[in-house]
């Protein structure tokens, strides 16, 4: 396929480059979340903390929506698993057990990194999507009553 990759209209709106004349009427409509729903029962401990903390931040940035919520739950589960594995590795007595745990840990960490990149959580991926800040409207400035 020639030309640049087609960006969704919602991404263009976040970046501030959306033009109504280029809107795609057949595009998938995404239902925005108003608040973060309760996590599933298997999200416990550290994963639950990540779910509420990071979820709230992603929700305010407009990154988290009804379509990618399931993937975000998977990310929280993987990060919680990594936390548990770090504790297990620190308590491993023999080198064989530690080596097995480290192999699993490295694979899980690689998966977590790719999931984090999907949400712009890694430093490199955070630079790809810039959320345009809304300008604050100052009525005094508009009416010419600037106080300096």
Total of domains in the chain: 1
pLDDT at position 104, please? Answer: 93
pLDDT at position 50, please? Answer: 93
In a domain, 31, yes or no: no
| Residue 107, C-beta contacts closer than 8 angstroms, at least 6 positions apart | none
Structural domain containing residue 103: 9-18+42-133
Per-residue pLDDT tens digits for 76-117: 999 999 999 999 999 888 899 999 999 999 999 999 998 888
- Listed residue (43, 54, 48, 36) closest to 122, CA to CA: 54
In a domain, 111, yes or no: yes
Q: Could you tell me what percent of the chain has a pLDDT over 90?
A: 31
Long-range contacts of 11-18, Cβ-Cβ distance < 8 Å, separation of 24 or more: 11/129, 14/62, 14/129, 14/130, 14/131, 14/132, 15/129, 15/130, 15/131, 15/132, 16/132
CA distance 97 to 78: 21
**Can you give the pTM of this predicted structure?**
0.65
Paired with 77 in beta bridges are none
In a domain, 33, yes or no: no
In a domain, 107, yes or no: yes
Per-residue pLDDT of the chain (148 residues; tens, 9 = 90+): 588 877 777 778 777 888 888 888 777 666 677 888 999 999 999 999 999 999 998 888 878 888 888 899 999 999 999 999 999 999 888 899 999 999 999 999 999 998 888 777 776 665 565 554 545 556 566 556 665 5
pLDDT at position 129, please? Answer: 54
CB 79 within 8 A of CB 119: no
In a domain, 35, yes or no: no
In a domain, 72, yes or no: yes
Q: Which residue has the tokens 């087609």?
A: 6
């Amino acid at each position: 396929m020639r030309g640049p990759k087609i960006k969704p209209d919602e991404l263009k709106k976040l970046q501030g480059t959306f033009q109504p004349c280029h809107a795609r009427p057949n595009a998938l409509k995404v239902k925005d979340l108003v608040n973060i729903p309760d996590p599933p029962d298997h999200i416990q401990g550290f994963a639950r903390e990540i779910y509420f903390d990071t979820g709230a931040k992603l929700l305010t940035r407009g990154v988290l929506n009804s379509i990618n919520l399931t993937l975000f739950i998977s990310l929280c589960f993987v990060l919680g698993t990594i936390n548990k594995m770090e504790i297990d590795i620190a308590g491993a007595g023999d080198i064989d057990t530690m080596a097995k745990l480290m192999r699993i840990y490295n694979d899980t960490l690689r998966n977590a990194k790719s999931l984090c990149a999907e949400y712009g959580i890694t430093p490199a991926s955070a630079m790809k999507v810039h959320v345009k800040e809304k300008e604050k409207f100052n009525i005094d400035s508009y009416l010419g009553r600037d106080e300096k």
